[in-house]
Amino acid sequence: MGKLVCPMCGEEVAVPVHCGQEMHKEGDQLVCWMGAGCGAQPMVEHCGQAMEIKE
Ligand SMILES: [Zn+2]
Ligand SMILES: [Zn+2]
């Protein structure tokens, strides 16, 4: 399972799921694998910063 990591404190949370699959990053948003027309949300924030997908 993918994780989002906070660049400030290192906190890790699970990547949000949409339509049964993990969402992916497009620009500054998280987008459903079905496309942005299905589901999109701003990147999760932690410590006032956008979290990053852990590789
Ligand atoms: Zn979806
Ligand atoms: Zn944090």
Q: Across residues 32-39, what is the average pLDDT?
A: 98
pLDDT of residue 55: 77
Contact 53, 4 (CB under 8 A): yes
* pLDDT at residue 29 greater than cutoff 90: yes
pLDDT of residue 53: 94
Amino acid at 37: G
* pLDDT at residue 23 greater than cutoff 80: yes
Residue 29 pairs with which residues in a beta bridge? Answer: 26, 42
Please give the distance, rounded to the nearest whole angstrom, from the Cα atom of residue 3 to the centre of ligand 1: 18
* pLDDT at residue 48 greater than cutoff 90: yes
Residue 31 pairs with which residues in a beta bridge? Answer: 24, 40
Give me 27's structure tokens.
């620009």
Please give the distance, rounded to the nearest whole angstrom, from the Cα atom of residue 52 to the centre of ligand 2: 11
pTM listed for this prediction: 0.86
Please give the distance, rounded to the nearest whole angstrom, from the Cα atom of residue 10 to the centre of ligand 2: 6
Q: Which protein residues have a CB closer than 5 Å to ligand 1 (ion)?
A: 18-19, 32, 34, 38-39
pLDDT of residue 39: 98
